[in-house]
């Protein structure tokens, strides 16, 4: 399913989203006056870290191609200084909106109203979380907290819930994958768009070599997760690296060795990444397990429930901001049944992109939830242009609310929590 998003660009007054909410809620009163504008009460969000160097080992990259990869200014998998600025770019756009909506103060510091929690496993998420905290509350010294990865044998379960009693049933997971790849012409792991992208990627990575056989790719199911293997996985990872090179601001000749150095060409190649995401972390069967704790945490926070630690949520929290990974955004898509495309950005979970849920109260007291994706257009990531930051409202399917595309908090919680296994995210 692909949802055509409604985009409200931040080059317009950010309060236009609030005005639009009032209009969408309809008219009321004997003279047809607009209904009272809904009040934004809370926001919960998870933002992907910023632009980073490739995570693959040099020998792995060398195995993909004989061409020399460009040099990055930081080590393997680390956040670049430019990548940190991209996080700040998007976080600054979110702050502008949150201030206008009243969940963050225009002057002074938010105190307990703001909680920022980062995945402690990686430096790139810890540093991105701190950049987000600095931009959401400038000058306030808010710290992005995180769990000490050395104190636990597993990564923070907020960001990766599979583990312990929460595992995949291999047979059920295989059935979910089988349903996802089924077509009128039989099962196809590589769909037409990714087949086209794979052929082009072969030309770039291995000039003159024969095209990859789509049948050489497969999906592997383990208790710890689902993974795509073979040429589809390799080309998906390489396509993401090309996007990172472009977003980093590398010279055109260094982006895919000059063969995909604009957003349109990159968009074609990223079909491989979109396909692997759809078959793994965004697949509802996996997403409802791996993303269980974030989903539970988000819904509980919107409902006003407190939490003692990791992260601590007090009664006064208005904005809960997590600094995580693209996996977390894809998990939320699978958990909440959402899909989106981003105008000007070929990667739906590009660096610094944020998935947010907003809690609104209307004049009847009804509380409803909307979903928004905050992102920077690819060219804007490259040039650090604030005008490239946009919010995209993504409607919940099958919900009824006074706010079009929204779900009441009660209905959303009941529907989503019923799909998450009891052993996951508790």
Tens digits of per-residue pLDDT, 242-272? 999 999 999 999 999 999 999 999 999 999 9
Q: How many CB atoms lie within 10 A of CB 123?
A: 15
Name the pTM for this structure: 0.92
Half-sphere exposure of residue 271, counting CA atoms within 13 Å on the CB side?
17
CA angle, residues 41, 45, 48, in degrees to nearest 5: 160
pLDDT, the chain, mean: 92
Lowest mean pLDDT among 65-69, 130-134, 222-226, 254-258: 222-226
Residue 54 contacts residue 77 (beta carbons within 8 Å): yes
pLDDT attached to residue 148: 86
Choose among 379, 373, 369, 371: nearest CA to 341: 373
> Residue 7: pLDDT above 50?
no
Instruction: Kindly indicate the confidence band of residue 155, based on its pLDDT and cuts at 50, 70 and 90.
Output: confident
Within 171-245, strands assigned E span: 182-183, 186-187, 218-222, 225-229
Residue 141 contacts residue 108 (beta carbons within 8 Å): no
Structure tokens, 300: 């509980």
- Convert 182-207 to b/e letters by CB count within 10 Å (16 or more is b): eeeeeebbbbeebbebbebbbebbee
In sign, the C-alpha dihedral spanning 158, 159, 161, 164 is negative
- Convert 64-101 to b/e letters by CB count within 10 Å (16 or more is b): bbeeebbebebeeebbbebbbbbbbbbbbbbbbbbbbb
pLDDT attached to residue 28: 40
> Residue 9: pLDDT above 80?
no
Instruction: Kindly indicate the confidence band of residue 400, based on its pLDDT and cuts at 50, 70 and 90.
Output: confident
pLDDT attached to residue 147: 93
Displacement of CA 56 from its chain's centroid (Å): 21
In angstroms, how far is the first alpha carbon of the chain from the final one?
30
Lowest mean pLDDT among 39-53, 112-126, 171-185, 398-412: 398-412
pLDDT attached to residue 169: 95
pLDDT attached to residue 311: 96
pLDDT attached to residue 122: 95
Above pLDDT 70, what percent of the chain? Answer: 91
Residue 151 contacts residue 129 (beta carbons within 8 Å): no
Choose among 324, 393, 394: nearest CA to 87: 324
Instruction: Kindly indicate the confidence band of residue 11, based on its pLDDT and cuts at 50, 70 and 90.
Output: very low
């Amino acid at each position: 399913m692909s949802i055509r998003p409604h985009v409200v660009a931040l080059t317009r007054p950010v309060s236009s989203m609030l005005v639009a909410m009032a209009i969408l809620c309809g008219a009321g009163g004997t003279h047809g006056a607009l209904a009272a504008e809904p009040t934004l009460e809370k926001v919960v969000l998870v933002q992907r870290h910023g632009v980073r160097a490739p995570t693959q080992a040099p020998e792995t990259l060398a195995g993909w191609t004989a061409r020399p990869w460009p040099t990055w200014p930081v080590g393997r998998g680390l956040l670049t200084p430019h990548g940190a600025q991209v996080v700040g770019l998007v976080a600054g756009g979110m702050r502008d909106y949150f201030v206008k909506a009243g969940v963050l103060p225009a002057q002074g510091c938010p105190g307990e109203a703001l909680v920022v929690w980062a995945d402690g496993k990686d430096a790139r998420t810890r540093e991105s979380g701190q950049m987000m905290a600095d931009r959401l509350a400038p000058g306030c010294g808010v710290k992005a907290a995180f769990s000490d990865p050395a104190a636990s044998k597993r990564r923070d379960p907020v960001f990766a819930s599979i583990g312990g009693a929460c595992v995949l049933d291999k047979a059920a997971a295989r059935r979910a994958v089988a349903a996802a790849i089924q077509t009128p012409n039989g099962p196809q792991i590589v769909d037409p768009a990714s087949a086209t992208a794979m052929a082009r990627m072969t030309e770039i990575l291995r000039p003159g070599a024969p095209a990859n056989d789509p049948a050489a790719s497969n999906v592997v199911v383990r208790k710890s997760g689902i993974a795509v293997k073979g040429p589809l996985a390799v080309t998906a990872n390489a396509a993401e690296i090309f996007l990172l090179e472009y977003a980093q601001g590398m010279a055109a000749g260094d982006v895919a060795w000059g063969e995909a150095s604009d957003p349109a060409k990159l968009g074609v190649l990223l079909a491989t990444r979109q396909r692997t995401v759809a078959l793994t972390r965004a697949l509802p069967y996996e997403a409802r397990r791996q993303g269980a704790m974030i989903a539970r945490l988000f819904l509980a926070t919107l409902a006003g429930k407190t939490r003692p630690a990791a992260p601590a949520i007090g009664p006064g929290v208005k904005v809960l901001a997590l600094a995580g990974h693209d996996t977390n955004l894809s998990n939320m898509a699978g958990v909440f049944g959402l899909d989106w495309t981003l105008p000007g950005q070929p990667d739906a979970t590009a660096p610094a992109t944020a998935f947010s849920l907003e809690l609104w109260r209307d004049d009847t007291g009804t509380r409803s939830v909307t979903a928004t994706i905050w992102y920077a257009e690819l060219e804007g990531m490259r040039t650090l242009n604030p005008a490239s930051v946009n919010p995209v409202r993504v409607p919940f399917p099958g919900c009824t609310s006074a706010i079009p595309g929204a779900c009441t908090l009660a209905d959303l919680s009941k529907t989503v929590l019923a799909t998450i296994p009891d052993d996951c995210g508790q």
